[in-house]
C-alpha cells in the first residue's frame, strides 16, 4: 500500500478527525487488532462475534497509525491523552472501509477486472491472475476475500508498481455486487455462469442473473463484459450496447471457441481456443473438462486488456488447483479429490465427472449437504445421487440432513450408498470402507466443513 494521510482517510470516508495529526501517514489497513503493524490504520468494525471498538486500546498499543471508529467511548481517558494516533469518527466503519478502498483504487491508472458467477469464480480468478502476470505486475484478492469486507481489504494490495488487478466478487443478495462494482469500477467484467447457488434467498434464477449483472453497473461503451456463451441465460443476454460483450464457449458463433477438448484425468485437460485471428493449443494441470470454459473466460479477459494468446497459454500452464478445489492428494495409496470448499448442484456434477475420469480402482463419492437451494432442495440432492449412478461411481457415502436424498437416489440407480447423520459417525467407519487404489471425492457446502473428512484421512494411520 502507498502512504496516505489521515486527512485523506477522513475526507474519503466523510469522517471527522476528533484528535491527532491530520498529516499522520498510514501505510496499511487492518480490521483485526492482533494483526496491527506500525503504520496501519485500524477500522473498528462491528461483527457478529466481536466489536472492534472493544479493542481500540490493543490497536494503539500495537502501534497503529490511526483509528477509524463509530464512537470513542470505549477508550480509557488516559489513552485519549497519550495516543498520538489520529482518531477518525465516521457514521459506519464498514461503509467507511469501502469508501476508502474506492478512493484509494481511484488514485491509480491500472487495468481492473472483476469476476463473478455462480460457480468457477475462484478458479477463473487464479487463471486470469497467471495470464495477466505474463505481461503485467498483477494483484488479486486472496482466498475468499470477495465480499463487502474482504474485497476492500484486497484493494490495499495495490501500489504504484501495480499494472493490473483482478477482483473476485461474491454475493448472497441483490445489491451486494453493485456496491463491490462501485468500489472497483472495472473496465472488464467476467460472468462465469448463472446457476442456482443462493436460490433460497434470491428465489429465482432470473434474480440471480440480475444480481450478477450488477457487476456491469459502472461500465461504459469502452468496457467489456466477458460471458459464458454456453450458459442458457447468459447466451440470451440483451445489454442494449452500453458496453462490449465478448462470448466464449463451444459454439461456432462465439468470439473465442473451444475445440479438441481432451480429458487427461488427474493430469488436467487439453484444448484449443480459436479466435478470429488465431488458433492456440492450451494445457492446464487442473482436472475437469468444465475448466476449459473457466480457462476460455480468463483468456478472453486477458485478450481484452492486451495479453496475447501465447502469453495466455504460458500463464495457464502455471496454474495449479486452489486449496480445497479439485485438489488431488495422494495418501497411502489412495487418491483423494479434495473439493471440500463449497458445493452447488452444478459443481457437484462437475466434481463427479472428475471422479469418473481419474484412474483408480473403486470410485467413492463422500458428499455433504448443499445449502441455500430453497424449496426444491430435495429434488436437487436426488439429482446428484442419480447422476452419480449414471457416471459409474461405485460407492456413495452421504452426510448431513438433506444429503440422505443423494444416497436414496444413488441406491435407486443401482449403486451402493450409505447415509450418516453426522461427520463423526462417518469418520468412525471410514477406514473400513477404504482400500488401496481407491479414488475418493470429498465435497459439500462450506457450512458442512467437509475438509474435516480430508484431514481425518490424512491423519488416520494404516
Average pLDDT, the chain: 94
pLDDT, tens digit, for every residue of 360-374? 999 999 999 999 999
Range with the poorest average pLDDT among 9-18, 112-121, 195-204: 195-204
What does the pLDDT read at residue 77? 55
Segment holding 281, helix H or strand E: strand 279-284
pLDDT, tens digit, for every residue of 46-93? 988 899 999 999 999 999 999 999 976 656 555 544 467 899 999 999
Label residue 276 by pLDDT band (50, 70, 90).
confident
pLDDT, tens digit, for every residue of 371-402? 999 999 999 999 999 999 999 999 999 999 99
Let me know: does 458 contact 331? Beta carbons within 8 Å.
yes
Given a cut of 80, whether residue 461 has pLDDT beyond it is: no
Matching CATH number, 4-90, of 3.30.930.10, 3.40.1390.10, 3.30.9.10, 3.40.50.10490: 3.40.1390.10
- What are the extents of the domains in the chain? 4-90, 108-316, 327-459
Burial of 361 per CB tally in 10 Å (0-12, 13-18, 19+): middle
Place of cell 484486497: 154
Least Cα distance to 114 among 191, 175, 172 occurs for 191
Q: What is the DSSP string of 12-60?
A: HHT-EEEES-TT-EE-EEES-GGG--TTEEEE--B-SS-BGGGGHHHHH
pTM for the full model?
A: 0.92
Given a cut of 70, whether residue 191 has pLDDT beyond it is: yes
pLDDT, tens digit, for every residue of 220-245? 999 999 999 999 999 999 888 899 99
Coil/strand/helix, residue 393: coil
CATH class assigned to 327-459: alpha beta
Give me the mean pLDDT over the 249-253 stretch.
Answer: 92
What does the pLDDT read at residue 414? 97
Domain 108-316 has CATH 3.40.710.10: no
Given a cut of 80, whether residue 282 has pLDDT beyond it is: yes
Amino acid at each position: 500500500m502507498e502512504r496516505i494521510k489521515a486527512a485523506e482517510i477522513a475526507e474519503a470516508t466523510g469522517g471527522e478527525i476528533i484528535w491527532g495529526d491530520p498529516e499522520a501517514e498510514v501505510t496499511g489497513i487492518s480490521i483485526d487488532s492482533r494483526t496491527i503493524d506500525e503504520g496501519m490504520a485500524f477500522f473498528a468494525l462491528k461483527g457478529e462475534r466481536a466489536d472492534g471498538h472493544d479493542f481500540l486500546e490493543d490497536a494503539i498499543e500495537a502501534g497503529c497509525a490511526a483509528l477509524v471508529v463509530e464512537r470513542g467511548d470505549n477508550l480509557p481517558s488516559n489513552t485519549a491523552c497519550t495516543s498520538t494516533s489520529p482518531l477518525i469518527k465516521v457514521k459506519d466503519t464498514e461503509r467507511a472501509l469501502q469508501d476508502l478502498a474506492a478512493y484509494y483504487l481511484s488514485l491509480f491508472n491500472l487495468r481492473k477486472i472483476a469476476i463473478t458467477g455462480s460457480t468457477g469464480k475462484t478458479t477463473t480468478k487464479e487463471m486470469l491472475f497467471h495470464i495477466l502476470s505474463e505481461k503485467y505486475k498483477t494483484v488479486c484478492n486472496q482466498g475468499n476475500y470477495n465480499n463487502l469486507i474482504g474485497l476492500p481489504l484486497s484493494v490495499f494490495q495495490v501500489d504504484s508498481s501495480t499494472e493490473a488487478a483482478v477482483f473476485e466478487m461474491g454475493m448472497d443478495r441483490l445489491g451486494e455486487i453493485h456496491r463491490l462494482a462501485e468500489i472497483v469500477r472495472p473496465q472488464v467484467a467476467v460472468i462465469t455462469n448463472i446457476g442456482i447457488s443462493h436460490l433460497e434467498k434470491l428465489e429465482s434464477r432470473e434474480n440471480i442473473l440480475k444480481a450478477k449483472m450488477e457487476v456491469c453497473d459502472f461500465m461504459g461503451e469502452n468496457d467489456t463484459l466477458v460471458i459464458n456463451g454456453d450458459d442458457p441465460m447468459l447466451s440470451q443476454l440483451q445489454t442494449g450496447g452500453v458496453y462490449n460483450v465478448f462470448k466464449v464457449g463451444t459454439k461456432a458463433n462465439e468470439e473465442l471457441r473451444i475445440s479438441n477438448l481432451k480429458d487427461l484425468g488427474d493430469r488436467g485437460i487439453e484444448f484449443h481456443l480459436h479466435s478470429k485471428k488465431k488458433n492456440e493449443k492450451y494445457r492446464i494441470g487442473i482436472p475437469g473438462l468444465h475448466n476449459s470454459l473457466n480457462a476460455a473466460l480468463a483468456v478472453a479477459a486477458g485478450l481484452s486488456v492486451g495479453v496475447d494468446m501465447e502469453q495466455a497459454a504460458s500463464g495457464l500452464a502455471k496454474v495449479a488447483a486452489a486449496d480445497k478445489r479439485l485438489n488431488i492428494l495422494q495418501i497411502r495409496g489412495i487418491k483423494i479429490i479434495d473439493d471440500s470448499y463449497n458445493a452447488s448442484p452444478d459443481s457437484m456434477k462437475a466434481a463427479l465427472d472428475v471422479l469418473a475420469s481419474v484412474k483408480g480402482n473403486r470410485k467413492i463419492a463422500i458428499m455433504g449437504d448443499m445449502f441455500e437451494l430453497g424449496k426444491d432442495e430435495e429434488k436437487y440432492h436426488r439429482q446428484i445421487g442419480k447422476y452419480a449412478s449414471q457416471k459409474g461411481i461405485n460407492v456413495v457415502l452421504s452426510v448431513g440432513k438433506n444429503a440422505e436424498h443423494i444416497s436414496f437416489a444413488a441406491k435407486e440407480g443401482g449403486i451402493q450408498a450409505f447415509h450418516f447423520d453426522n461427520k463423526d459417525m462417518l469418520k468412525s467407519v471410514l477406514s473400513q470402507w477404504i482400500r488401496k487404489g481407491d479414488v475418493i471425492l470429498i465435497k459439500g457446502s462450506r457450512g458442512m466443513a467437509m475438509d474435516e473428512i480430508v484431514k481425518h484421512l490424512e491423519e488416520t494411520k494404516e
